[in-house]
Amino acid sequence: MTTATTRRGDRRVSPVFLGILAVTAVTGWATWTGYAAQPGVAIFLFVTAAWIVSLCLHEYAHARTALHGGDITVGAKGYLTLNPLKYTHALLSIVLPVIFLIMGGIGLPGGAVFIERGRIRGRWKHSLVSAAGPLTNVLFAAVCTAPFWLHALDGVPADFQYALAFLALLQVTASILNFLPVPGLDGYGVIEPWLSYKVKRQVEPFAQFGLLFVFALLWVPSINSVFFDLIDAILRGLGVGDFPRYCGQELYRWWQGNPEICRINP
């Protein structure tokens, strides 16, 4: 198998990732039990840590799929260790998404790991490598919303429901934004292998500006409204109401939010 060409150390889970996972577990417990004196702080740490975990899994999915597709160099680059510090664009993959999360509560797509595409044969494999990342966000969103669409919220503390609802919002926005067929985003990577050489050459210079272009469009009020109407519709379809999502965002931004309205159980 292809994985046999990677060293065991190249596939060992990084202590950095395990540390982030531990923070997620501890702050998730604090959110569930109400142990923290300030619930917003626990929710902030829980959602942020869980969001970073999802970013690591997103990039890992790209790398792991590329490995099985033929790029055996991803192991030596550290991509299979889930260590966010090993990503080619750590700033784009981790730092900027977290900053935009704190500033505006939006799941911004991260930068992709560097895949040696020349080692991968077959258009379907190339498309799958690009799709693997956002599909991870889709799966993460399904897990976060499962208690809602399974009607299994009995006994789940309100604050934990709010945190899950906000985390689900982030995963849904990240999934949709990543799947946009815009150069530089994963959605374009899915369709790129099927485009003509001429079209790819014409589009290539704009790839580095794709994410900035999408972010600029979201500042246009009419586009922003349509986008978040779509997000709200998807979340409602998954059983997540407006109140839990709103409270999750308010409690997350505890330093400037209005958490008092959320002291009522959903």
Instruction: List Cβ neighbours of 52 (8 Å cut-off, separation of 6 or more).
Output: 20, 84, 94, 98
Q: Which two tokens stand for residue 257?
A: 């939010």
Q: Which two tokens stand for residue 214?
A: 């999408």
Using N-to-C axis directions, what is the helix angle for 221-237 and 210-218, rounded to 10°? 90
Q: Which two tokens stand for residue 65?
A: 């799929």
Residue 133, CA atoms < 13 Å, CB-side half-sphere: 32
Using N-to-C axis directions, what is the helix angle for 221-237 and 158-178, rounded to 10°? 120
Output the CA–CA distances (angstroms, integers) from residue 149 to 32, 173, 176, in the order listed: 20, 18, 20
- Indicate the burial class of 87 (C-beta count within 10 angstroms; 0-12, 13-18, 19 or more): buried
Asked whether the beta carbons of 28 and 46 are under 8 A apart, the reply is yes
Q: What are phi and psi of 98, to 5 degrees?
A: -70, -40
Catalytic residue of the set 59, 116, 192, 260: 59
Rounded to an integer, what distance in angstroms lies between the CA atom of residue 65 and that of residue 6?
14
The b/e string for 227-254 (b: 16+ C-beta within 10 A; e otherwise) is beeebbebbeebbbeeebbbbbbbbbbb
192 flagged as catalytic = no
Asked whether the beta carbons of 7 and 74 are under 8 A apart, the reply is no
Question: CA Rg, the chain, in Å?
Answer: 19
Catalytic residues: 59
